[in-house]
Protein backbone atom coordinates (compact mmCIF):
# COMPACT_ATOMS: atom_id res chain seq x y z
CA UNK A 1 0.00 0.00 0.00
CA UNK A 2 3.02 2.28 0.22
CA UNK A 3 2.75 3.01 -3.51
CA UNK A 4 2.17 6.74 -3.91
CA UNK A 5 -0.04 6.41 -6.97
CA UNK A 6 -2.51 4.14 -5.18
CA UNK A 7 -5.24 5.61 -2.98
CA UNK A 8 -8.23 4.40 -1.01
CA UNK A 9 -11.50 6.30 -0.67
CA UNK A 10 -13.95 5.50 2.10
CA UNK A 11 -17.48 6.82 1.54
CA UNK A 12 -19.31 6.55 4.86
CA UNK A 13 -22.90 6.96 3.72
CA UNK A 14 -26.23 6.60 5.46
CA UNK A 15 -27.28 3.48 3.54
CA UNK A 16 -23.95 1.96 2.53
CA UNK A 17 -20.24 2.22 3.22
CA UNK A 18 -17.97 1.88 0.20
CA UNK A 19 -14.21 1.33 0.23
CA UNK A 20 -12.57 1.80 -3.15
CA UNK A 21 -8.93 1.25 -4.13
CA UNK A 22 -7.70 3.01 -7.24
CA UNK A 23 -4.50 3.92 -9.03
CA UNK A 24 -3.49 6.15 -11.92
CA UNK A 25 -2.62 4.31 -15.12
CA UNK A 26 -0.04 5.51 -17.64
CA UNK A 27 -2.65 7.66 -19.44
CA UNK A 28 -3.49 9.58 -16.26
CA UNK A 29 -6.87 7.86 -15.96
CA UNK A 30 -7.97 6.04 -12.82
CA UNK A 31 -8.18 2.25 -12.61
CA UNK A 32 -10.27 0.68 -9.87
CA UNK A 33 -8.30 -2.16 -8.29
CA UNK A 34 -10.83 -3.26 -5.70
CA UNK A 35 -14.15 -2.27 -4.18
CA UNK A 36 -15.93 -3.36 -1.04
CA UNK A 37 -19.28 -2.32 0.32
CA UNK A 38 -21.31 -3.04 3.41
CA UNK A 39 -24.68 -1.98 4.75
CA UNK A 40 -24.23 1.15 6.80
CA UNK A 41 -25.53 0.79 10.32
CA UNK A 42 -25.02 3.63 12.75
CA UNK A 43 -25.12 6.59 10.34
CA UNK A 44 -28.16 8.85 10.23
CA UNK A 45 -28.52 11.68 7.70
CA UNK A 46 -24.81 11.60 6.98
CA UNK A 47 -23.78 11.83 10.66
CA UNK A 48 -22.41 8.97 12.76
CA UNK A 49 -24.81 8.16 15.61
CA UNK A 50 -23.53 4.74 16.64
CA UNK A 51 -19.76 4.38 16.81
CA UNK A 52 -19.59 0.58 17.34
CA UNK A 53 -21.87 -0.28 14.43
CA UNK A 54 -20.11 2.16 12.12
CA UNK A 55 -16.70 0.64 12.98
CA UNK A 56 -18.00 -2.84 12.15
CA UNK A 57 -19.51 -1.67 8.84
CA UNK A 58 -16.23 0.05 7.90
CA UNK A 59 -14.23 -3.09 8.72
CA UNK A 60 -16.51 -5.19 6.56
CA UNK A 61 -16.25 -2.83 3.57
CA UNK A 62 -12.46 -2.64 3.93
CA UNK A 63 -12.19 -6.43 4.19
CA UNK A 64 -14.28 -6.81 1.00
CA UNK A 65 -12.05 -4.35 -0.84
CA UNK A 66 -8.90 -6.11 0.40
CA UNK A 67 -10.25 -9.50 -0.70
CA UNK A 68 -11.23 -8.25 -4.16
CA UNK A 69 -7.88 -6.50 -4.76
CA UNK A 70 -5.49 -8.73 -2.82
CA UNK A 71 -3.98 -5.63 -1.18
CA UNK A 72 -3.71 -4.50 2.41
CA UNK A 73 -5.31 -1.13 3.18
CA UNK A 74 -3.62 1.07 5.75
CA UNK A 75 -4.86 4.61 5.13
CA UNK A 76 -8.01 6.10 3.65
CA UNK A 77 -9.50 9.40 2.54
CA UNK A 78 -12.98 9.92 3.99
CA UNK A 79 -15.95 11.92 2.72
CA UNK A 80 -18.00 14.06 5.06
CA UNK A 81 -21.59 15.30 4.69
CA UNK A 82 -24.51 15.92 7.04
CA UNK A 83 -26.81 18.74 7.97
CA UNK A 84 -24.15 20.41 10.15
CA UNK A 85 -22.15 21.46 7.07
CA UNK A 86 -22.43 25.08 6.01
CA UNK A 87 -20.42 27.25 3.68
CA UNK A 88 -19.57 30.93 3.68
CA UNK A 89 -17.73 33.47 1.53
CA UNK A 90 -14.77 35.29 3.02
CA UNK A 91 -12.04 37.57 1.68
CA UNK A 92 -8.62 38.04 3.17
CA UNK A 93 -5.23 39.48 2.20
CA UNK A 94 -1.54 39.30 3.06
CA UNK A 95 1.14 41.94 2.58
CA UNK A 96 4.33 40.50 1.15
CA UNK A 97 7.58 41.67 2.72
CA UNK A 98 9.61 41.35 -0.48
CA UNK A 99 7.77 42.63 -3.55
CA UNK A 100 10.87 42.10 -5.73
CA UNK A 101 10.22 38.36 -5.72
CA UNK A 102 7.35 36.80 -7.64
CA UNK A 103 4.37 35.31 -5.82
CA UNK A 104 4.86 31.59 -5.15
CA UNK A 105 3.05 28.66 -3.51
CA UNK A 106 4.25 29.68 -0.06
CA UNK A 107 2.42 33.00 -0.31
CA UNK A 108 -0.81 31.26 -1.26
CA UNK A 109 -0.36 28.74 1.57
CA UNK A 110 0.22 31.61 3.98
CA UNK A 111 -2.98 33.28 2.82
CA UNK A 112 -4.99 30.04 3.14
CA UNK A 113 -3.56 29.34 6.59
CA UNK A 114 -4.62 32.79 7.65
CA UNK A 115 -8.22 31.93 6.68
CA UNK A 116 -7.90 28.67 8.65
CA UNK A 117 -7.40 30.83 11.76
CA UNK A 118 -10.84 32.48 11.33
CA UNK A 119 -12.85 32.39 14.52
CA UNK A 120 -15.83 30.07 14.05
CA UNK A 121 -18.94 29.54 16.15
CA UNK A 122 -18.28 27.35 19.20
CA UNK A 123 -18.06 23.69 18.21
CA UNK A 124 -17.41 24.40 14.52
CA UNK A 125 -14.29 23.75 12.52
CA UNK A 126 -13.12 24.69 9.02
CA UNK A 127 -12.98 21.69 6.66
CA UNK A 128 -11.97 23.35 3.38
CA UNK A 129 -10.63 26.75 2.37
CA UNK A 130 -11.09 27.07 -1.40
CA UNK A 131 -9.68 30.21 -3.08
CA UNK A 132 -12.00 31.53 -5.81
CA UNK A 133 -10.19 34.43 -7.42
CA UNK A 134 -7.26 36.62 -6.45
CA UNK A 135 -6.37 40.29 -6.50
CA UNK A 136 -2.77 41.45 -6.77
CA UNK A 137 -2.16 45.10 -5.79
CA UNK A 138 -5.80 45.86 -6.49
CA UNK A 139 -5.89 44.21 -9.93
CA UNK A 140 -8.95 42.00 -9.79
CA UNK A 141 -10.15 38.69 -11.31
CA UNK A 142 -6.81 36.89 -11.36
CA UNK A 143 -7.20 33.12 -11.42
CA UNK A 144 -3.54 32.16 -11.05
CA UNK A 145 -1.35 34.72 -9.25
CA UNK A 146 1.76 32.50 -9.10
CA UNK A 147 4.67 34.10 -10.96
CA UNK A 148 3.31 37.65 -10.76
CA UNK A 149 4.93 40.59 -8.96
CA UNK A 150 2.99 42.36 -6.24
CA UNK A 151 3.03 43.53 -2.63
CA UNK A 152 -0.53 42.87 -1.57
CA UNK A 153 -2.19 39.53 -2.36
CA UNK A 154 -5.93 39.26 -1.75
CA UNK A 155 -8.39 36.45 -2.40
CA UNK A 156 -12.04 35.57 -2.08
CA UNK A 157 -12.56 32.22 -0.41
CA UNK A 158 -15.28 29.64 -0.26
CA UNK A 159 -15.02 28.27 3.28
CA UNK A 160 -16.70 24.99 4.25
CA UNK A 161 -17.44 24.58 7.94
CA UNK A 162 -18.60 21.54 9.92
CA UNK A 163 -19.21 20.40 13.47
CA UNK A 164 -16.07 19.40 15.37
CA UNK A 165 -17.77 16.52 17.19
CA UNK A 166 -19.11 14.98 13.96
CA UNK A 167 -15.72 15.25 12.27
CA UNK A 168 -13.96 13.72 15.26
CA UNK A 169 -16.50 10.90 15.48
CA UNK A 170 -15.71 9.96 11.88
CA UNK A 171 -12.00 10.07 12.69
CA UNK A 172 -12.59 7.89 15.73
CA UNK A 173 -14.48 5.27 13.68
CA UNK A 174 -11.76 5.15 11.02
CA UNK A 175 -8.99 4.83 13.64
CA UNK A 176 -10.80 2.17 15.64
CA UNK A 177 -11.30 0.18 12.45
CA UNK A 178 -7.49 -0.01 12.36
CA UNK A 179 -6.95 2.56 9.60
CA UNK A 180 -5.17 5.85 9.28
CA UNK A 181 -6.97 8.97 8.13
CA UNK A 182 -5.16 10.56 5.19
CA UNK A 183 -7.65 13.41 4.83
CA UNK A 184 -11.26 14.54 4.88
CA UNK A 185 -13.14 15.87 1.86
CA UNK A 186 -16.59 17.33 1.50
CA UNK A 187 -18.67 14.71 -0.32
CA UNK A 188 -20.27 17.01 -2.93
CA UNK A 189 -16.75 18.15 -3.94
CA UNK A 190 -15.64 14.54 -4.36
CA UNK A 191 -18.73 13.61 -6.42
CA UNK A 192 -18.26 16.70 -8.58
CA UNK A 193 -14.72 15.60 -9.36
CA UNK A 194 -15.95 12.22 -10.51
CA UNK A 195 -18.86 13.20 -12.75
CA UNK A 196 -18.39 16.73 -14.09
CA UNK A 197 -16.34 17.70 -17.12
CA UNK A 198 -14.17 20.82 -17.16
CA UNK A 199 -16.45 22.39 -19.81
CA UNK A 200 -19.47 22.03 -17.54
CA UNK A 201 -17.62 23.63 -14.62
CA UNK A 202 -16.67 26.54 -16.89
CA UNK A 203 -20.17 27.04 -18.27
CA UNK A 204 -21.80 26.82 -14.85
CA UNK A 205 -23.36 23.66 -13.42
CA UNK A 206 -25.12 22.44 -10.29
CA UNK A 207 -24.26 18.92 -9.15
CA UNK A 208 -27.01 17.29 -7.08
CA UNK A 209 -25.91 14.10 -5.32
CA UNK A 210 -28.96 12.30 -3.93
CA UNK A 211 -27.75 9.87 -1.30
CA UNK A 212 -29.65 7.79 1.23
CA UNK A 213 -29.59 10.28 4.09
CA UNK A 214 -28.59 13.59 2.51
CA UNK A 215 -28.75 15.42 -0.80
CA UNK A 216 -25.52 17.28 -1.50
CA UNK A 217 -25.17 20.27 -3.80
CA UNK A 218 -22.07 21.77 -5.41
CA UNK A 219 -22.27 24.71 -7.82
CA UNK A 220 -19.46 25.60 -10.24
CA UNK A 221 -19.08 28.59 -12.54
CA UNK A 222 -16.01 29.70 -14.55
CA UNK A 223 -14.28 26.53 -13.41
CA UNK A 224 -14.45 27.54 -9.74
CA UNK A 225 -16.55 26.13 -6.89
CA UNK A 226 -19.09 28.81 -5.96
CA UNK A 227 -21.51 27.25 -3.51
CA UNK A 228 -21.93 24.05 -1.53
CA UNK A 229 -24.81 22.82 0.63
CA UNK A 230 -26.00 19.65 2.31
CA UNK A 231 -29.77 19.10 2.56
CA UNK A 232 -30.77 16.59 5.25
CA UNK A 233 -33.13 14.50 3.08
CA UNK A 234 -32.39 11.71 0.65
CA UNK A 235 -33.65 8.41 -0.71
CA UNK A 236 -34.40 7.05 2.75
CA UNK A 237 -37.23 9.48 3.40
CA UNK A 238 -38.86 8.28 0.17
CA UNK A 239 -38.62 4.68 1.42
CA UNK A 240 -40.07 5.76 4.79
CA UNK A 241 -43.00 7.45 3.06
CA UNK A 242 -43.73 4.29 1.05
CA UNK A 243 -43.49 2.23 4.24
CA UNK A 244 -45.95 4.49 6.07
CA UNK A 245 -48.23 5.10 3.10
CA UNK A 246 -48.59 1.43 2.17
CA UNK A 247 -48.21 -0.05 5.70
CA UNK A 248 -45.43 -2.43 4.69
CA UNK A 249 -41.98 -3.18 6.11
CA UNK A 250 -38.89 -1.26 5.10
CA UNK A 251 -37.26 -4.01 3.00
CA UNK A 252 -40.42 -4.30 0.92
CA UNK A 253 -40.69 -0.52 0.57
CA UNK A 254 -37.09 -0.28 -0.64
CA UNK A 255 -37.57 -3.11 -3.19
CA UNK A 256 -40.81 -1.54 -4.42
CA UNK A 257 -39.11 1.83 -4.86
CA UNK A 258 -36.21 0.33 -6.83
CA UNK A 259 -38.20 -2.09 -8.97
CA UNK A 260 -41.43 -0.21 -9.66
CA UNK A 261 -40.90 3.34 -8.41
CA UNK A 262 -41.27 6.37 -10.65
CA UNK A 263 -41.17 10.08 -9.88
CA UNK A 264 -43.89 10.84 -12.44
CA UNK A 265 -47.38 9.54 -11.53
CA UNK A 266 -48.83 10.13 -15.02
CA UNK A 267 -46.72 7.26 -16.36
CA UNK A 268 -48.65 4.50 -14.61
CA UNK A 269 -51.99 3.10 -15.71
CA UNK A 270 -54.69 2.80 -13.06
CA UNK A 271 -54.86 -0.99 -13.31
CA UNK A 272 -51.17 -1.73 -12.63
CA UNK A 273 -51.06 -3.46 -9.26
CA UNK A 274 -48.31 -5.11 -7.23
CA UNK A 275 -49.15 -7.70 -4.62
CA UNK A 276 -46.94 -7.83 -1.54
CA UNK A 277 -46.78 -10.90 0.75
CA UNK A 278 -48.36 -10.29 4.16
CA UNK A 279 -46.34 -10.77 7.34
CA UNK A 280 -46.47 -14.18 9.02
CA UNK A 281 -49.50 -15.66 7.23
CA UNK A 282 -51.49 -12.44 6.89
CA UNK A 283 -53.30 -11.56 3.68
CA UNK A 284 -51.09 -10.11 0.91
CA UNK A 285 -51.40 -6.35 0.26
CA UNK A 286 -52.24 -4.92 -3.12
CA UNK A 287 -50.71 -1.59 -4.06
CA UNK A 288 -51.39 0.31 -7.26
CA UNK A 289 -48.30 1.63 -9.00
CA UNK A 290 -50.09 4.93 -9.46
CA UNK A 291 -50.33 5.38 -5.69
CA UNK A 292 -46.72 4.31 -5.28
CA UNK A 293 -45.48 6.93 -7.71
CA UNK A 294 -47.74 9.61 -6.14
CA UNK A 295 -46.04 8.98 -2.78
CA UNK A 296 -42.58 9.10 -4.38
CA UNK A 297 -43.46 12.18 -6.45
CA UNK A 298 -44.59 14.20 -3.43
CA UNK A 299 -41.34 13.63 -1.55
CA UNK A 300 -39.04 14.06 -4.56
CA UNK A 301 -40.67 17.39 -5.39
CA UNK A 302 -39.95 18.54 -1.85
CA UNK A 303 -36.27 17.56 -2.09
CA UNK A 304 -35.82 19.20 -5.50
CA UNK A 305 -37.52 22.40 -4.37
CA UNK A 306 -35.14 22.66 -1.40
CA UNK A 307 -32.16 22.21 -3.74
CA UNK A 308 -33.57 24.70 -6.23
CA UNK A 309 -33.89 27.23 -3.40
CA UNK A 310 -30.15 26.83 -2.73
CA UNK A 311 -29.42 27.28 -6.46
CA UNK A 312 -31.47 30.49 -6.42
CA UNK A 313 -29.68 31.66 -3.25
CA UNK A 314 -26.39 31.32 -5.09
CA UNK A 315 -27.83 33.74 -7.69
CA UNK A 316 -28.58 31.54 -10.71
CA UNK A 317 -31.16 34.06 -11.87
CA UNK A 318 -28.56 36.82 -12.39
CA UNK A 319 -27.21 36.92 -15.93
CA UNK A 320 -23.55 36.75 -14.87
CA UNK A 321 -24.12 33.76 -12.58
CA UNK A 322 -26.33 31.74 -14.90
CA UNK A 323 -25.65 28.00 -14.87
CA UNK A 324 -25.53 27.28 -18.61
CA UNK A 325 -24.81 23.55 -18.27
CA UNK A 326 -27.83 23.16 -15.96
CA UNK A 327 -28.03 20.31 -13.47
CA UNK A 328 -26.23 16.97 -13.15
CA UNK A 329 -27.88 14.33 -10.95
CA UNK A 330 -25.81 11.63 -9.30
CA UNK A 331 -25.85 9.36 -6.24
CA UNK A 332 -28.04 6.28 -5.71
CA UNK A 333 -31.21 8.41 -5.77
CA UNK A 334 -30.46 9.54 -9.33
CA UNK A 335 -31.46 6.08 -10.58
CA UNK A 336 -35.14 6.74 -9.85
CA UNK A 337 -37.17 6.50 -13.05
CA UNK A 338 -38.34 9.76 -14.68
CA UNK A 339 -36.42 11.85 -12.14
CA UNK A 340 -34.57 13.75 -14.87
CA UNK A 341 -37.86 14.82 -16.48
CA UNK A 342 -39.27 15.95 -13.11
CA UNK A 343 -36.17 18.00 -12.28
CA UNK A 344 -36.29 19.70 -15.69
CA UNK A 345 -39.99 20.40 -15.19
CA UNK A 346 -39.52 22.00 -11.73
CA UNK A 347 -36.35 23.99 -12.39
CA UNK A 348 -36.54 24.65 -16.12
CA UNK A 349 -32.81 23.76 -16.32
CA UNK A 350 -31.14 21.20 -18.62
CA UNK A 351 -30.54 18.00 -16.68
CA UNK A 352 -28.50 14.86 -17.17
CA UNK A 353 -27.65 11.85 -15.00
CA UNK A 354 -23.97 11.87 -14.00
CA UNK A 355 -22.00 8.64 -14.18
CA UNK A 356 -18.58 8.70 -12.51
CA UNK A 357 -16.69 7.70 -15.67
CA UNK A 358 -15.23 11.14 -16.45
CA UNK A 359 -11.73 10.13 -15.29
CA UNK A 360 -12.00 6.33 -15.18
CA UNK A 361 -10.01 4.02 -17.44
CA UNK A 362 -12.00 2.80 -20.45
CA UNK A 363 -12.27 -0.84 -19.37
CA UNK A 364 -13.92 -0.10 -16.00
CA UNK A 365 -16.60 -2.49 -14.93
CA UNK A 366 -20.12 -1.13 -15.49
CA UNK A 367 -21.05 -1.65 -11.83
CA UNK A 368 -18.44 0.84 -10.62
CA UNK A 369 -19.62 3.49 -13.07
CA UNK A 370 -23.06 3.52 -11.42
CA UNK A 371 -24.07 6.92 -9.96
CA UNK A 372 -24.10 5.20 -6.52
CA UNK A 373 -20.30 5.16 -6.52
CA UNK A 374 -19.74 8.78 -7.56
CA UNK A 375 -18.54 9.88 -4.11
CA UNK A 376 -16.18 6.92 -3.67
CA UNK A 377 -14.63 7.42 -7.12
CA UNK A 378 -14.27 11.16 -6.39
CA UNK A 379 -12.54 10.53 -3.05
CA UNK A 380 -9.95 8.28 -4.71
CA UNK A 381 -9.44 10.83 -7.52
CA UNK A 382 -8.96 13.67 -5.02
CA UNK A 383 -6.46 11.63 -3.09
CA UNK A 384 -4.51 10.62 -6.22
CA UNK A 385 -4.27 14.20 -7.41
CA UNK A 386 -2.93 15.19 -3.99
CA UNK A 387 -5.55 17.88 -3.49
CA UNK A 388 -6.21 16.92 0.08
CA UNK A 389 -4.31 18.76 2.74
CA UNK A 390 -3.50 16.57 5.72
CA UNK A 391 -4.14 19.41 8.13
CA UNK A 392 -7.74 18.29 8.61
CA UNK A 393 -6.57 14.77 9.42
CA UNK A 394 -4.48 16.18 12.24
CA UNK A 395 -7.34 17.81 14.10
CA UNK A 396 -9.07 14.47 14.42
CA UNK A 397 -6.10 12.84 16.07
CA UNK A 398 -5.81 15.05 19.12
CA UNK A 399 -6.14 13.41 22.51
CA UNK A 400 -7.68 10.26 21.15
CA UNK A 401 -4.86 7.78 20.84
CA UNK A 402 -4.92 6.16 24.30
CA UNK A 403 -8.65 5.47 24.06
CA UNK A 404 -8.34 3.98 20.60
CA UNK A 405 -5.52 1.67 21.62
CA UNK A 406 -7.54 0.14 24.42
CA UNK A 407 -10.49 -0.31 22.07
CA UNK A 408 -8.08 -1.92 19.60
CA UNK A 409 -7.11 -4.68 22.07
CA UNK A 410 -10.71 -5.72 22.64
CA UNK A 411 -11.54 -5.53 18.96
CA UNK A 412 -10.41 -8.89 17.45
CA UNK A 413 -12.78 -11.07 19.50
CA UNK A 414 -15.76 -8.88 18.80
CA UNK A 415 -14.86 -8.74 15.12
CA UNK A 416 -14.97 -12.53 14.69
CA UNK A 417 -18.35 -12.97 16.33
CA UNK A 418 -19.81 -10.17 14.27
CA UNK A 419 -18.63 -11.38 10.88
CA UNK A 420 -20.04 -14.86 11.52
CA UNK A 421 -23.39 -13.36 12.47
CA UNK A 422 -23.29 -11.07 9.45
CA UNK A 423 -22.75 -13.95 7.07
CA UNK A 424 -25.77 -15.92 8.22
CA UNK A 425 -27.87 -12.77 8.30
CA UNK A 426 -26.81 -11.94 4.77
CA UNK A 427 -27.57 -15.42 3.51
CA UNK A 428 -31.04 -15.22 4.94
CA UNK A 429 -31.68 -11.83 3.37
CA UNK A 430 -30.41 -12.98 -0.04
CA UNK A 431 -32.79 -15.95 0.03
CA UNK A 432 -35.64 -13.69 1.10
CA UNK A 433 -34.86 -11.17 -1.64
CA UNK A 434 -34.74 -13.92 -4.28
CA UNK A 435 -38.08 -15.33 -3.14
CA UNK A 436 -39.62 -11.89 -3.11
CA UNK A 437 -38.27 -11.14 -6.60
CA UNK A 438 -39.74 -14.42 -7.87
CA UNK A 439 -43.01 -13.48 -6.23
CA UNK A 440 -43.03 -10.05 -7.88
CA UNK A 441 -42.12 -11.52 -11.25
CA UNK A 442 -45.02 -13.97 -11.02
CA UNK A 443 -47.34 -11.20 -9.88
CA UNK A 444 -46.61 -9.28 -13.07
pLDDT tens for 97-116 read 988 899 999 999 999 999 99
CA 282 to chain centre: 40
pLDDT value at residue 331: 95
Who has greater pLDDT, 361 or 168? 168
Residues 17-26, mean pLDDT to the nearest whole number: 93
Residue range 136-158, pLDDT digits in tens: 999 998 999 999 999 999 999 99
Region(s) of the chain under CATH 3.30.1490.110: 86-163
pTM as predicted: 0.83
**Across all residues in the chain, what is the average pLDDT?**
86
pLDDT value at residue 57: 96
Q: With respect to CATH, is domain 197-356 assigned 3.30.420.40?
A: yes
Residue range 382-429, pLDDT digits in tens: 999 875 544 444 445 444 433 333 333 333 333 333 334 444 444 555
Residues 232-244, mean pLDDT to the nearest whole number: 95
Please say if the pLDDT value at position 25 is more than 90.
Answer: no
Choose the weakest-confidence range: 122-126, 273-277, 359-363.
359-363
CA 46 to chain centre: 9
List the CATH code of the domain at 86-163. 3.30.1490.110
Strands (DSSP E) contained in 164-306 are 180-186, 205-210, 215-221, 224-231, 273-276, 285-288
Instruction: Write 96-101 long-range contacts (CB < 8 A, 24+).
Output: 96/150, 96/151, 96/152, 96/153, 99/149, 99/150, 99/151, 100/149
Q: Torsion angle of alpha carbons 49, 55, 59, 62, nearest 10°?
A: 50
Region(s) of the chain under CATH 3.30.420.40: 197-356
Q: Which residues, at least 6 apart from 388, have a Cβ–Cβ distance to it below 8 Å?
A: 77, 182, 183, 184, 185, 382
- Please give the angle made by the CA atoms of 238, 36 and 55, to the nearest 5 degrees: 75
Spatial separation of the C-alpha atoms in residues 32 and 20, rounded to whole Å: 7
Burial class of residue 292, CB neighbours in 10 A (0-12, 13-18, 19+): buried
Amino acid sequence: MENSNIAVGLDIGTTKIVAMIGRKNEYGKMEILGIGKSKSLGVHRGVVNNITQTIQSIQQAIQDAENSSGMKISEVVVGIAGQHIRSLQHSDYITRSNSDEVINDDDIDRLCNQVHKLVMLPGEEIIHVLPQDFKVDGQAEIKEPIGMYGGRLEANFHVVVGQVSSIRNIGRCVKSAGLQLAGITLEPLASANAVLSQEEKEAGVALIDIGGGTTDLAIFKDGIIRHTAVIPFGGNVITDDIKEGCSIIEKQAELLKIKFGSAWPGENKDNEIVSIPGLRGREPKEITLKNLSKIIHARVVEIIEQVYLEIKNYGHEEQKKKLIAGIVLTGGGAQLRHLKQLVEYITGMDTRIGYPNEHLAGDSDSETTSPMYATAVGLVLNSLSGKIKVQNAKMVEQDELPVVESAEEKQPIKKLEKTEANKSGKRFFDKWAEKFKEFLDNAE
